[in-house]
Structure 1
Amino acid sequence: MTTNITGGCQCGAIRFRVDGELGDASICHCRMCQKATGGFFGPYVGAPRQAVVWTRGRLKHFQSSNKVARGFCGDCGTPLTYEYDDGDVGLSIGALDRPAETAPRVQLASSAELPYFAGLAALPVHADDEPRAAAHLASIVSYQHPDHDTAEWPPKP
């Protein structure tokens, strides 16, 4: 995959860079990943521990099992890592600056997959350009860190 990947949390307090190749990307349906991400699954991509450089801030960790610690931003709560004691680091795909470049290749813990997961793609889609949706989206002012490195965050007035 791509080298020199960057990413970070939603508020910008934590930023990282991967100097090297990413491993396989996956989604995990286990209950721990569901709870850790607040979503239907945990989307992670592996990176060699020594290749991950934390360029801003420090992770907080929660030991979710005897095997895994999960790193997150202590300020905004963004889930960032899935860490075995003796292996690569799993980085949250959604925390990457360019998540579309990291497609999952496998699903894990399928026995815990939520029963409606397979049907999600068939749900009706509300178009963003529908007048009410477009007006609502145009009224949103994001305070989220941009999807690229910044010299400082938040910006000084």
Structure 2
Amino acid sequence: MEGGCQCGRVRYVAVIEDDDAYLCHCRMCQRATGGVSIAFKNIPASSLQWLTEPDWYQSSPIARRPFCAACGTPLGFAFLRNVENVDVTVGSFDDPARFRPVHHYAVESMHEAWIDTRDLPRMRSEQNEGVIKRWMDACGKTPD
């Protein structure tokens, strides 16, 4: 499977053997992404090939995170030593629909109110007339 950042500067190819993914709720991931959790696909490091090398941020004494310095997309997580596996952000895959969460990690920092949202009202992007107008005025089309 292929993936990359929002602007397309950083790209990768990964050999994926199953659909299992997980949600990390640790405070470092919350701060690194600005979200309440991050969806990761854990894969062997040997299964990931960077087509364009990402930028790296050493987020702790034991780990670093690949990202794109041009658009800011978080791309994953990797330990600094004895790197057998790496985590790739599910949202950075070109087609992330196949992945399914199979567990939560770092639940001591989990924000429970954000876990079960199935009963919240839903709105499709094309229903937001103000945003559609902004896209049309800016470039004559809506994003993919």
* TM bracket (short chain): 0.7 to 0.9
Amino acid in the other structure paired with 1:25: A
Map 1:3-152; keep pairs closer than 5 Å: 5-21=1-17, 24-55=20-51, 57-84=52-79, 85=81, 86-128=83-125, 130=127, 133-134=128-129, 136-137=131-132, 139-140=134-135, 141=139
TM-score for both structures, normalised by structure 2:
0.82
Q: Secondary structure at the match of 1:97?
A: coil
CA 1:128–1:13: 2 relative to 1, 3 Å: closer
TM-superposed CA distance for 1:96, in Å, is 0.4
Provide runs of 4+ in structure 1 moved above 6 Å.
none
CA 1:106–1:20: 2 relative to 1, 3 Å: closer
CA contact under 8 A between 2:19 and 2:98: conserved in structure 1?
A: no
TM-superposed CA distance for 1:118, in Å, is 3.2
CA 1:39–1:69: 2 relative to 1, 3 Å: same
Identity %: 31
CA 1:127–1:49: 2 relative to 1, 3 Å: closer
Amino acid in the other structure paired with 2:43: A
RMSD (Å), alpha carbons: 2.5
TM-score for both structures, normalised by structure 1:
0.76
Give structure 2 stretches of 5+ with no counterpart. none
Q: Secondary structure at the match of 2:118?
A: helix
Aligned residue-pair number: 138
CA distance in 2, matches of 1:41, 1:128: 22
